[in-house]
Chain A
Amino acid sequence: MSDELVSFEVNGQTLQARPGSMLIAATDAAGITVPRFCYHKKLSVAANCRMCLVEVEKAPKPMPACATPIMAGMKVWTNSPKARAAQKDVMEFLLINHPLDCPICDQGGECELQDLSVGFGNSTSEYVEIKRVVRDKDIGPLIETAMTRCIHCTRCVRFGEEIAGMRELGATGRSQYTEIGTYVAKTVTSELSGNIIDVCPVGALTAKPSRYTARPWELRSYDSIAPHDCVGSNIHVHTARGKVVRVVPRENEAINECWISDRDRFSYEGLHSQERLLKPQIKRDGHWKKVSWQEALDAVSSILRKQLAFNVAAFAGPSSTLEEFFLFQKLLRALNIKNIDHRLRQVDFSDQAFVPSGLGVSFTELEQQQAIFLIGANPRHDQPMLNYRLRKASLAGAKVLALTPRKLAFNYTAEQIVAAPLAMVTELAVLVKAALEAASQAAPTVLADLLASVEISDTAKSQVENFKAPNSLILLGQMAVQHPAFSSLRSLATVLAQATGAKLGYLPEANSLAANLVGVLPHRGLAGEAIAAPGLPVSAALDDKNLTTVVLMNAELDDFANPQQVLKALRAAKNVIVFAPFADTQARDYATVLLPTSTFVETSGTLINAEGLWQSFKGVVNPPGEVRPLWKVLRVLGNALNLPDFDYVETSEIVAELKLELQAVPLTAMGQLSAPLVVAKQDANTMQRIGDVPLYRTDALVRRAKSLQAMLASPVVRMHLADMERLGIVAGDLVRLGQGDSYVQLPAEADEAVPKGCVWVQSATEVARALGAAFGSIMVDKG
């Protein structure tokens, strides 16, 4: 395809386009309507519905606009009698087998077939024979099917193959027996599966959670930003009768294109959870008492005022907004409280002086990388839409290498170095040594011993060779950040980046980049300002003997690396003040004050994504009950405490103020340990736990979204067959897992993806609350 434009004519109007590009793209760009079903600008051309037939000069028959390449001087008519007749005929054929069930179809009102049949269909049909009927399939809790409505455009099939990178749906059978489905009973599991609801031009695939809740014309649409990962996908939140009933993508080519992840699409279900807090409550003599906001905030301010600053620790969950983070730390700092943290899943803070940055490149630049090294990252689960960009890079030829504690299911070609958590450090050291040798550089002294203990392999040499490409990127993911030797991994990654010339970046958790910028950290204040006499990082603060009071903002047990430790600390604390939209039984047990605050649809706020892009959004619905926007609660509390400068009227004022302050914050992906790196030895009696966070357990809202929860398999412990044999366990046996002073029992499953000596027991699940460190040692024996 040449880049030069050629002229051609559509309906007498002269247009220009690249020769060889498809006619329909040019007519779309010029605003000329051509009806279509199978064509989708992001998918390959199938040209199977024939709805887009147009008249082309000198062509004996009408031509499909979606599959007709543009040639210089060609003349096209999209609505000549010949074109119209062809379009009407195709519509007649499509309607032969389509049921007349629009009144009970969820797609009614936003159906491409319904819309086009108004323009191109007849009011009566000549077809009197029997219509075909296709049995509906159960493809899982997220997508409802009504396959008789399917017009076989195969958009959903192409989406799976081309965008989701996971072909789950197909067209089986042929001619009138053709059916779209999975052939065998199967749940569609792609983390992007919900998008097939949007691409389906008819009501064959609709959203199951919002089935029969509202008609499209009853919906109001609001712009918002999805808060569940560091992508910040742009979304439309649809409401009916003041209630959020669904979420759909809002197109933004630079961020999420026209897609969103299932997590962003269906998390809204959590809004209506039974555990929603609706009124402020205070626990007195072990009993909860509903109180007014005034009373609750008075109680909180008197607690905070009475405590000595070093008796207090305050933790914020990473999906809070920029404004919430800012006011949170501002309020606490004004009270001189220093044990402030948002790094709830992190355990190694030895290099915290280097506050992590984001990706270091834009999402579109991600696609242009030639070599990508993922260290402890599972982007498919942690940042699905970002993984989509990585996949595009891979399809364009990028070499993807992953260092991971368990073998991951990538949906593109990725070479994986699978190593038990502690062994990840040595594996990385091998690559570093190879890179240093290739660059003829000497090892930094802190690495000398470690590097001397490993040997360069030929594979390592060729892996490192890839990073010499001008666009190469090393990314530290969530499993790296949560790793017990995170600082070692980061030091090594830094040296690797320096030796190869690759860039180094992070895949931050949700909005944690904002927390780093405004200083929800024990050692850094606003804009990276160093704190004299810093506070304690999260785990040390929890263990601190002085702890009497804990403040939790959007944080609950499942948000921490070590729920066991948290629960112990919270139970021992005299005051536990919770700002959150939800409280489960455990929270009602450890908390002493519950303040019902907003979710992302009930407040205005700002999220900073992994690229560093600030995206502000407005509230969509009125908060239920007595819930108040969290930033306002913090502001009023600041006033109640007579703290200076707590008089913001709008979140936009905070953003305006912060934009100036946060311009030159010294965030860095790089990190260097000053002490020599050592690799911890695994105690022979225990195994290493791999405790990454499941796809749909990332934050409080997601954890309460029913349909997403139904997508998760029930928890099991997975381990290598060799370990099962060694322990005398067969698949299905209950296995006893002990960490700290308690244990749980889970059924075992053999899994070659788990390295020997490790068990894969995910965190942030209900059973995992009784366990300790997500990536720590764990006792395993037959239950």
Chain B
Amino acid sequence: MTAADTSDKAVVLSAHERDEIDSWLARYPADQRQSALLGALRAVMHEDHYLSVPKMDAVATYLGLPPIAVYEVASFYSMFETDERAAARHSISVCTNISCMLSGADDILAHIEKKLGVRLGESTPDHKFYLKREEECLAACCGAPMMQVNHVYYTELTPEKVDSILDGLE
């Protein structure tokens, strides 16, 4: 009668994503599938660079959770992108919190914006870079100014150093 009576969602998880999720599931008790949620979302992030609603629904179905339980987690953690416009191969976070700011983070950020031709919070049209508005501080104050590209921290930045880091990325 209502859509809720029959939910047959098309599964859109890739084989690789499913393997990854299964490897997480194996670490938890069988009745605690929710525990694999963060791992599952990370697997999807790796492949799509963001979490689309259909993918989150697929994760929900796969783990046997209500979709909203997945949306909650996905929207809570800043490491997860839920907006398609944020989907890019490389995610750059420039810390602009106090230590970095005092050491010239604003100039670094302005340099990156100029170099990539995007504003903070945007990604390049070729989906290579996403300049993320980060929830700071990134806890590398001793090496300020710093940025994080994907999972790697780069410290004591200068515009030249930034250029060579970014130019070196595929």
Map CB proximity to A onto B1-39 as digits: 1 under 8 Å, 0 otherwise: 111111110000000000000000000000000000000
Q: With both chains docked as a complex, state the minimum distance between the C-beta of A163 and any C-beta of chain B, in angstroms.
A: 14
Q: Which residues of B contact A762 (CB under 8 A)?
A: 1
22 A-B residue pairs with Cβ-Cβ distance under 8 Å, sorted by A, are: A168-B66, A169-B68, A171-B72, A172-B68, A172-B75, A173-B75, A173-B76, A183-B67, A183-B71, A183-B75, A184-B53, A381-B1, A408-B5, A409-B5, A409-B6, A695-B1, A712-B1, A713-B3, A718-B6, A752-B8, A753-B6, A762-B1
Q: With both chains docked as a complex, state the minimum distance between the C-beta of A71 and any C-beta of chain B, in angstroms.
A: 32
Interface residues of B toward A: which range?
A: 10 to 19
- For the complex, what is the distance from the CA of A326 to the CA of B77, rounded to whole Å? 64
If A170-B68, A184-B67, A718-B6 are given as contacts, then 16 extra A-B residue pairs at C-beta distance below 8 Å, sorted by A number, are A166-B4, A170-B69, A171-B72, A172-B68, A172-B72, A173-B76, A182-B68, A183-B67, A183-B68, A189-B2, A189-B3, A409-B5, A713-B2, A752-B6, A753-B6, A762-B1
Say whether A461 faces chain B, with CB atoms less than 8 Å apart: no
Q: With both chains docked as a complex, state the minimum distance between the C-beta of B91 and any C-beta of chain A, in angstroms.
A: 19
User: Are A694 and B1 touching (Cβ within 8 A)?
Assistant: yes
Among residues 660 to 692 in chain A, which have CB atoms less than 8 Å away from a CB atom of chain B?
A: none
Q: With A166-B66, A167-B66 given, is the CB distance from A172 to B5 under 8 Å?
A: no
Q: With A184-B53, A752-B8 given, is the CB distance from A172 to B2 under 8 Å?
A: no
Q: Which residues of A contact B6 (CB under 8 A)?
A: 407, 409, 718, 751-753
User: Are B69 and A167 touching (Cβ within 8 A)?
Assistant: yes
Main secondary structure of the interface of A (DSSP, over half): loop
Say whether A174 faces chain B, with CB atoms less than 8 Å apart: yes
Number of A-B residue pairs with CB-CB distance less than 8 Å in the complex they form: 58
For B2, B8, B53, the residue with the greatest tally of chain A CB atoms inside 10 Å of its CB is B2
Among residues 31 to 89 in chain B, which have CB atoms less than 8 Å away from a CB atom of chain A?
A: 53, 66-69, 71-72, 75-76
- For the complex, what is the distance from the CA of A191 to the CA of B31, rounded to whole Å? 27
Q: With both chains docked as a complex, state the minimum distance between the C-beta of A263 and any C-beta of chain B, in angstroms.
A: 13
Q: With both chains docked as a complex, state the minimum distance between the C-beta of A412 and any C-beta of chain B, in angstroms.
A: 14
Map CB proximity to B onto A154-175 as digits: 1 under 8 Å, 0 otherwise: 0000000000001111111110
Q: Which residues of B contact A712 (CB under 8 A)?
A: 1-2
User: Are A168 and B68 touching (Cβ within 8 A)?
Assistant: yes
- For the complex, what is the distance from the CA of A169 to the CA of B67, rounded to whole Å? 10
Q: With both chains docked as a complex, state the minimum distance between the C-beta of A730 and any C-beta of chain B, in angstroms.
A: 16
Contact of B2 among A171, A407, A711, A718 (CB under 8 A): A711
Q: Which residue of B lies closest to A169 (CB)?
A: B68
Q: With A184-B53, A752-B8 given, is the CB distance from A170 to B3 under 8 Å?
A: no
Q: With both chains docked as a complex, state the minimum distance between the C-beta of B121 and any C-beta of chain A, in angstroms.
A: 14
Q: With both chains docked as a complex, state the minimum distance between the C-beta of B56 and any C-beta of chain A, in angstroms.
A: 9
Q: With A718-B6, A752-B8 given, is the CB distance from A170 to B1 under 8 Å?
A: no
Q: Which residues of B contact A170 (CB under 8 A)?
A: 68-69, 71-72
User: Are A409 and B4 touching (Cβ within 8 A)?
Assistant: yes
Q: With both chains docked as a complex, state the minimum distance between the C-beta of B23 and any C-beta of chain A, in angstroms.
A: 27
Q: Which residues of A contact B72 (CB under 8 A)?
A: 170-172, 183
Q: With both chains docked as a complex, state the minimum distance between the C-beta of A148 and any C-beta of chain B, in angstroms.
A: 18
- For the complex, what is the distance from the CA of A172 to the CA of B3, rounded to whole Å? 23
Q: With both chains docked as a complex, state the minimum distance between the C-beta of A380 and any C-beta of chain B, in angstroms.
A: 10
- For the complex, what is the distance from the CA of A174 to the CA of B5, rounded to whole Å? 32
Q: With both chains docked as a complex, state the minimum distance between the C-beta of B33 and any C-beta of chain A, in angstroms.
A: 14
Q: Which residues of B contact A695 (CB under 8 A)?
A: 1-2
Q: With both chains docked as a complex, state the minimum distance between the C-beta of B118 and any C-beta of chain A, in angstroms.
A: 22
Interface residues of A toward B: which range?
A: 20 to 34
Q: With both chains docked as a complex, state the minimum distance between the C-beta of B169 and any C-beta of chain A, in angstroms.
A: 30
Q: Which residues of B contact A408 (CB under 8 A)?
A: 5
Q: Which residues of A contact B76 (CB under 8 A)?
A: 172-174
Q: Which residues of B contact A173 (CB under 8 A)?
A: 75-76
Contact of A172 among B4, B8, B71 (CB under 8 A): B71
Q: Which residues of A contact B1 (CB under 8 A)?
A: 381, 694-695, 712-713, 762
For A166, A183, A695, A752, the residue with the greatest tally of chain B CB atoms inside 10 Å of its CB is A183
- For the complex, what is the distance from the CA of A189 to the CA of B5, rounded to whole Å? 10
- For the complex, what is the distance from the CA of A751 to the CA of B66, rounded to whole Å? 20
Q: Which residue of A lies closest to B3 (CB)?
A: A713
Q: Which residues of B contact A174 (CB under 8 A)?
A: 75-76
Q: With both chains docked as a complex, state the minimum distance between the C-beta of A188 and any C-beta of chain B, in angstroms.
A: 10
- For the complex, what is the distance from the CA of A182 to the CA of B56, rounded to whole Å? 13
Q: Which residue of A lies closest to B4 (CB)?
A: A189
Q: With both chains docked as a complex, state the minimum distance between the C-beta of A478 and any C-beta of chain B, in angstroms.
A: 14
- For the complex, what is the distance from the CA of A182 to the CA of B71, rounded to whole Å? 9
Q: Which residues of B contact A752 (CB under 8 A)?
A: 6, 8
For A171, A408, A762, the residue with the greatest tally of chain B CB atoms inside 10 Å of its CB is A171
Q: Which residues of B contact A169 (CB under 8 A)?
A: 68
Q: Which residues of A contact B2 (CB under 8 A)?
A: 189, 695, 711-713
For B3, B8, B68, B72, the residue with the greatest tally of chain A CB atoms inside 10 Å of its CB is B68
Q: With both chains docked as a complex, state the minimum distance between the C-beta of B146 and any C-beta of chain A, in angstroms.
A: 23
- For the complex, what is the distance from the CA of A182 to the CA of B5, rounded to whole Å? 18
- For the complex, what is the distance from the CA of A166 to the CA of B69, rounded to whole Å? 11
Q: Which residues of B contact A753 (CB under 8 A)?
A: 5-6
- For the complex, what is the distance from the CA of A166 to the CA of B66, rounded to whole Å? 8
For A166, A184, A694, the residue with the greatest tally of chain B CB atoms inside 10 Å of its CB is A184
Q: Which residues of A contact B75 (CB under 8 A)?
A: 172-174, 183
- For the complex, what is the distance from the CA of A206 to the CA of B29, rounded to whole Å? 41
Q: Which residue of B lies closest to A183 (CB)?
A: B71
Q: Which residues of A contact B53 (CB under 8 A)?
A: 184
Q: Which residue of A lies closest to B72 (CB)?
A: A170
Q: With A166-B66, A174-B76 given, is the CB distance from A184 to B71 under 8 Å?
A: yes
Map CB proximity to B onto A388-404 as digits: 1 under 8 Å, 0 otherwise: 00000000000000000
Q: Which residues of A contact B4 (CB under 8 A)?
A: 166, 189, 409
Q: Which residue of A lies closest to B75 (CB)?
A: A172
User: Are A167 and B5 touching (Cβ within 8 A)?
Assistant: no
Q: Which residues of A contact B71 (CB under 8 A)?
A: 170, 172, 183-184
Q: Which residues of B contact A167 (CB under 8 A)?
A: 66, 68-69
